[in-house]
Structure 1
Amino acid sequence: MLPVASHEPLSVGFVLLNRFTLLPFAAFVDCLRLAADEGDRSRQLRCHWTFMTSTGEQATSSCGAAISPCEPFRDPASFDYIVVIGGVQDERDRVDSTALAYLRRSADTGVPLVGLCTGVFALIQAGLMKGRRCCVSWYHHRDMIQRFPAIEPVADRLFIDDGDRLTCAGGAAGADLAAYLIERHLGKAWAMKSLHIMLLDEARTGGHPQPQPVVFGKIEDRLVRKAIALLEQHLGEMISMEVLAERVGTSRRNLERRFKETLGVSPQKFSRDLRLRYGVWLLHYTGKSITEIGERCGFADTAHFSRHFRSAFGMTPSEMRKSVSEPGGARVDPFFLHVEGRPAL
């Protein structure tokens, strides 16, 4: 439960790492901005924020947009929270040792640290997440397991409040976490004011599930991994095998051979099974109709969706929805399609 709002100004310091992700930063800071003042006047009255980099120079985001002005790192004690926002993970060897040292100093000062999006990787690199769960986007789950096997990543929720460590999956959930902190410090009215101006109905809780019908498991074949990533990004549509093969730079015949060797199934079946898992997730966590779910999963019609669903899970979508709503009812894990050796479906 959130503590009673203090109505003291909320002060947040942002540590922007190289090529930081723009959306979670923008969602978080704009929620602060809108709660800081009446209307949309942007004066830093109820909320204060400071952008910081190791050099004090402008920060460049992953999309190329630059944030300025930025300052060198301030005394951590001047902030209620310090939010670190990480960059793209193909630059994992580029470590900002100055920023990591600042995060460690902030932790020693007792200031709560927020790992936003891939900012959680920086907290881990700084040695500040030992023995703690950390929230991560499903998209980065596999990378975290491979790079930091001693860390427990959580990819089935939007954010985790662990007292002096808060971690958030990123994306639009940055607004949810910001609203959570605004409500804590300023009261619910200010949090709702921000969200409504941002055209959001209400803040989602930290335990709200991520939309993540994702493949977890170790896949050695680089071409197969690339094809799966594309399939994950296009769950709502049928991608022809010719188009998929072209996108990953190979022939259809070679793609089908590689899937058979790696996973034991064709890419067509793997794609369908992945979309069916998405349907399970939608049945579990949304109120969408069976027809809407079938369309969202890329099936031509409800009959087609229901037929394949029953073949995969032994029950129709309607029967599964009824089952999961009953105490002790059978459940199918909607999150993981394991690929260690063979697909789960």
Structure 2
Amino acid sequence: MTVPSSELANTKACYLEFNTPNRQTHFIESTFYLHDDGTLSAQSKGNFASPYASLRFEHHADHSDTPFKPKYTPPKLTASLKKHPVIGTIWGMRFKHLPPKTIQHPSYRMQEQIVAALQQHTLARLSIEGVHQTLIEICDLLISSVPDNSLPQYADDRPDKRSERTARRHFKAHMGLSPKPFAGLNRFHEALSDITRTNTSLTDIAYDHEFADQAHFSRDFREKTGHTPAQFRQIWRKTETVRFLQDYESHPALRLGIVAT
């Protein structure tokens, strides 16, 4: 199921998650954009951005006169429970490792530059390409604040690792994801198809697609959608208004998109 990029401006809520360009992957896991009126986040008990360390720039609709505010969340072993739904807009990035302090807590000047980039985007027509480009720009601004010698180095030049690393790099360049998350996303797509097109029990769907158990299936599904499988099936049968936005041919960096119309 796909949603044209031009339709995003007319949706009640959407969540987009992207892979980062090669120049940013040394410590940025992914970037994300959430615009919500409570429709998506009310269905999820955990963070959309997972338990990774993350830096978010948030704008709450009920405080429309205030600019975007940065909020850093340190690494956690489990996702935090939401106290209330998100009503507003969040732009953010997840880190592979603990980022330098200049990124955890951007300077006032850096915050001004990022807010200016976000405000410029809100004046333009909302599109997948525009969202992705703005997130890339924000990450580049943050990276520019860090001295080169303080960035983490994760290279491993051992010969037995080089060919494996090269294979993963080529796979990611062509598919937009590394092999392991790609396989997980493919399994998720197949399970999603069964949920929406058949009356097969959720337990059978979990085992048909080789999830360890029902709890594993529910956890993986909720991390990717903000819904449990049962919640999604119930909503889908009533309204068919929750749609997934997966278009790797046009947007190879897009990992996951959820749209509520």
Q: Does TM-score exceed 0.5, indicating one fold?
A: no
TM range (shorter): 0.3 to 0.5
Comparing both structures, which one devotes a greater share of its residues to strand? Answer: 2
- With the length of structure 1 as denominator, give the TM-score of the two structures: 0.25
Larger Rg: 1
Q: Which has the higher contact order (CA 8 A, sep 6+)?
A: 2
